[in-house]
Amino acid sequence: MSLTIKGRPIHFSLKWLKPPPVPADGTMTLFEHLRELRYRLVVSILAIIVGMVVAWFFRYDLLDILQRPYFQAIEALKVRHPYAVTSLVNINLTSPLTLSLKVSALAGAIITAPFWLYQLWAFIVPGLLSKEKKWALIFIAAATPMFLSGVVVAYFVLPKAITVLLSFTQSGVTNLQDINAYLSFLLRLMVVFGLGFLIPLVVLMLNIVGVITAKQMAKYRSLVIFGTFVFGAVATPSTDPFSMLAIAAPMAVLFLAAELIARILDRRKQRQAALAGDDLVVRHTVTDDKALRELSQGDDDELDPPG
């Protein structure tokens, strides 16, 4: 039995799950880029929703894990301020449901990180050649642990940040923390740290596919390193330098490592180009010599009188 609307049959198709076609030369118009962006966003969101549904069945265990940094911070705070009174609370009736959805969404985004990271890379470098497709797989293999490393660093930095922030609470004041606001704060911190750890890898992959060179990376090295510390200062909520260094120092080291690898790859490309150029010169020389011999032989035949 087929569904109809005003007598017109409704056809269900999964063709929209296929990526839009890419021209053979890899060039795309603005509307084709927008169409591909829409496709990448839709399939990424659907993947996260699937991960969110799976995580929903473990939401209480996940919530205990996410609350642990807060309780560790409170224990550290009470060492210096034994009379501090703090508590995590739900403000309204919808907060428990909202909290469960946020926990599931966070877990779903982490579970499906390999998939949406691939969609990100596929959009940055459309129309991958067969040689470049292997680099896309390498990108995913490297990006997933690096993103998760950033998430883990944020998780362990959070207790220190909470301790510093709550230490400004005035004596005799009860500090009631909305658990939804706390979770949103944790989510933003994890995403920022995860993406921050990915930036050097993205720069390296852009070098591999020929978008930027190691010389360009070296030219802007000081600005990039300065930018990582500014990024760390803005992204981390606490006023202590430890939290800023926790994200800025690894990003700077990863960028320097990416520049070193890019320099090695550029030298290899130059050697291969030089060998290809020498081979081309040799082929042209052999061809030219052969042509000259044939031309010279033709001239001699014309000069020799017939027997």
Neighbours of 260 (CB within 10 A): 13
Contact 29, 45 (CB under 8 A): no
Q: Closest by alpha carbon to 156, among 65, 69, 63?
A: 69
What percent of the chain shows pLDDT beyond 90? 3
Q: Closest by alpha carbon to 77, among 155, 173, 163?
A: 163
Q: What is the pLDDT of residue 50?
A: 92
Higher pLDDT, 89 or 135: 89
Q: Is the pLDDT of residue 124 over 60?
A: yes
Each as own residue / partner, the long-range contacts of residues 231-237 (CB below 8 Å, 24 or more positions apart, any chain) are 231/196, 232/196, 235/189, 235/192, 235/193, 235/196, 236/157, 236/161, 236/189, 237/161, 237/165, 237/185, 237/189
The 10s digit of each residue's pLDDT in 233-243 is 776 665 666 66
Return mean pLDDT, the chain.
Answer: 75
Neighbours of 232 (CB within 10 A): 23
What is the distance in angstroms between the CA of the first residue and the CA of the last residue of the chain? 94
Lowest-confidence segment of 7-11, 110-114, 271-275, 294-298 by average pLDDT: 294-298
For 288, the 3-state DSSP assignment is helix
DSSP annotation string for 232-244: HHHH--SSSHHHH
For 21, the 3-state DSSP assignment is coil
Residues 48-68 as b/e (b if ≥16 CB within 10 A, e otherwise) read: beebbeebbeebeebbeebee
What percent of the chain shows pLDDT beyond 70? 72
Q: What is the pLDDT of residue 53?
A: 92
For 86, the 3-state DSSP assignment is strand
Contact 157, 149 (CB under 8 A): no
Stretch 57-82: mean pLDDT = 84
Q: What is the pLDDT of residue 307?
A: 46
Q: Is the pLDDT of residue 290 over 50?
A: yes
CA distance 51 to 46: 9
Q: Is the pLDDT of residue 283 over 60?
A: no
Q: Closest by alpha carbon to 193, among 226, 240, 223, 237?
A: 237
Q: Which residues in 32-74 belong to E strands, given as ranges? A: none
Q: Closest by alpha carbon to 177, among 104, 107, 84?
A: 84
CA distance 225 to 249: 9
Stretch 22-26: mean pLDDT = 59
CA distance 209 to 183: 38
- With tokens 């044939």, the residue in question is 294
Q: Is the pLDDT of residue 5 over 70?
A: no
The 10s digit of each residue's pLDDT in 98-123 is 888 888 888 888 888 888 877 877 77
Q: Computed over its alpha carbons, how large is the radius of gyration of the chain? A: 30
Lowest-confidence segment of 104-113, 148-157, 171-180, 296-305 by average pLDDT: 296-305
Q: Is the pLDDT of residue 37 over 70?
A: yes
Q: What is the pLDDT of residue 261?
A: 83
Q: Is the pLDDT of residue 300 over 80?
A: no
Neighbours of 111 (CB within 10 A): 16
Q: Closest by alpha carbon to 87, among 151, 174, 147, 7?
A: 174
The 10s digit of each residue's pLDDT in 41-64 is 888 889 899 999 999 999 888 888
DSSP 94: T
